[in-house]
Amino acid sequence: MYRNSRGRPGVVLAAAAVAQFVVALDMSVVNVALPAIRTALGFAPLDLSWVVHVYALAFGGFLLLGGRACDLYGRRRMFVLGLTAFGLCSLAGGLAQEPWHLIAARAGQGLGAAAAAPAALAMLTTTFPEGPRRVRALGVWSAVNAAGGALGVLAGGLLTEYAGWRWVMLVNLPVVAVALALVLAGVAADAAPARRERLDTPGAVLATGGVGLLVLGVVRTDTLGWRSPVTWTTLAAAAVLLAAFVLAEARAATPLLRLGLLRNRWVAGANVLVFLAAAGQFGAFYFVSLYMQQVLGMGAAATGAAFLPFSLGLVAGTVVATRVTASRTPRVSLVPGALLAATGLAWFALIRPDGGFLADVLGPSLVTSVGAGLVLAPVAAAATTGVAPPEAGMASGLMNSSRQLGGSIGLAALATVAAHHTGTAADPVALNHGYAWGLAVAAAVFALAAVVAIGVLPRRRAVTAVPQPTATATATATATATAENQREGTLS
């Protein structure tokens, strides 16, 4: 187990924010470029979706493993390793000459992101103690994360139209270089391990296989459908592996995911919240982008530019949430934020085939994005409240897994809802009808998130003082944190 090495807090925050920006950017920047990629590399129609799916598969499948590796082998080390791999694979993707070259590069990007993303969040939570300073730091991290996802659509449209699709991959290189320079120059090296612990190999295999099959089964519904035997076989295999993972973790001496961590109501509630919020937010990006291009007839660059107000609203929401929750419980921002996002998406559901940007997109974009920002900023603080430093990577990997699974599963489910109401027609009226239904269900998802925040999250902030782990105190610190979390959940 590695002792906490803080480094310079401002540099730690900058490095984590820049890294999270590029990881979030890559989640959406490729989508707008898919038609150009298909033409340039000669992708078969059914294979093109793997450019997106393989990234989600590798990223989501290895996040728990990446988070625990941060705790065992060092957060700075895993951050540098993951981000370097991400950058090299971005270069390989930009130079791809065959479809399999690009798919392999995207898989490598996902693996690198699965190491870098939990390491970045773990560095923040071990650098900034619980309280106002951590809330402010996580507010910046959340704002950058949200902006990266939203600006990815803008960047993808502009780069594809004016520079070529390869720059959708190559644009990551300077951002990765900045993040690596920051962490190498200003983040303290990982201290020597206080004691040697083995990675939970059986847990890692079961978790990676189970989550990977779950993501695979869900994302392939766009071509196979939910009624396909292949879909249900894949999901059943995922369920078996995940059930085996839970049983294995209950018996493991050094588990990949300590199940007792979920007794902390902040951790459990925040992970459900981030799952639901990601499902609603990814759905909003997807349907609004399709509405502007396929119903309103806007081009790729214009569609990307139209998401700029959404990006600004997300940042504004995170700024407000950071100030509100600096001295209060995250619950005071999560509940109104989820309700505001639900209201904005319900407004979005009123889109018209003969509508326009000002009448049908701008207003609901601002309402939805501000609400989403109010949720995204404090949910990271909630997910790490009361977590012992030796388990910071574990909690970070869990939250990132919940976000990724929520986005993948939610988007696939919402796309199915939209397709059911669209039918086989491809005219703007039919498409508009399907997209409106998808947005309405996304609004219901955010409303459910508000219910979870009200019913699960404690009314008071948990305050847990956990000593720094030593060779003899690591287990005691973890047990103390668990006991305090259980008592807080009972009292609240």
Q: Is residue 3 situated within a structural domain? A: no
Q: Is residue 243 situated within a structural domain? A: yes
User: Within this chain, do residues 211 and 322 fall inside the same structural domain, yes or no?
Assistant: no
pLDDT for position 137: 86
- Region of residue 396 (left: phi > 0; alpha: psi -120 to 50; beta: else): alpha
In this structure, what are the phi and psi dihedrals at residue 2, rounded to the nearest 5 degrees? -95, 135
For the chain, how many structural domains are there in total?
A: 2
User: Within this chain, do residues 22 and 103 fall inside the same structural domain, yes or no?
Assistant: yes
Q: Is residue 279 situated within a structural domain? A: yes
Q: Which of 390, 339, 377 is nearest to 137 (CA)?
A: 377
User: Within this chain, do residues 104 and 122 fall inside the same structural domain, yes or no?
Assistant: yes
Residue type, 366: L
pLDDT for position 345: 96
Q: Is residue 275 situated within a structural domain? A: yes
Query: Which pLDDT tens digit goes with each residue over 346-398?
Result: 999 999 999 989 889 999 999 999 999 899 878 888 888 888 888 888 988 89
- The CATH code of the domain that includes 324 is 1.20.1250.20
pLDDT for position 392: 85
Range in 186-190, 248-252, 407-411 the model is least confident about = 186-190
Average pLDDT, the chain: 84
Q: Is the pLDDT of residue 281 over 70?
A: yes
Binning pLDDT at 50, 70 and 90, where does residue 441 land? very high
User: Within this chain, do residues 241 and 261 fall inside the same structural domain, yes or no?
Assistant: no
User: Within this chain, do residues 214 and 304 fall inside the same structural domain, yes or no?
Assistant: no
Question: Model's pTM, two decimal places?
Answer: 0.80
Q: From the centroid of its chain, how far is CA 406?
A: 8
Q: What is the mean predicted confidence (pLDDT) over 159-167?
A: 88
Domain boundary among 255, 276, 302: 255
Highest mean pLDDT among 18-22, 292-296, 350-354, 355-359: 350-354
Domain boundary among 209, 227, 255: 255
- Give me the domain span that covers residue 206: 200-255
Q: Which of 36, 38, 62, 63 is nearest to 50 (CA)?
A: 38
Q: Is residue 4 situated within a structural domain? A: no
User: Within this chain, do residues 53 and 135 fall inside the same structural domain, yes or no?
Assistant: yes
Domain boundary among 223, 255, 287: 255
User: Within this chain, do residues 312 and 221 fall inside the same structural domain, yes or no?
Assistant: no
User: Within this chain, do residues 246 and 389 fall inside the same structural domain, yes or no?
Assistant: no
User: Within this chain, do residues 373 and 235 fall inside the same structural domain, yes or no?
Assistant: no
Distance CA 172, CA 179 (A): 11
End-to-end CA distance of the chain: 32
Q: Is residue 1 situated within a structural domain? A: no
Range in 90-99, 112-121, 192-201 the model is least confident about = 192-201
Q: Which one has a higher pLDDT value, 91 or 130?
A: 91
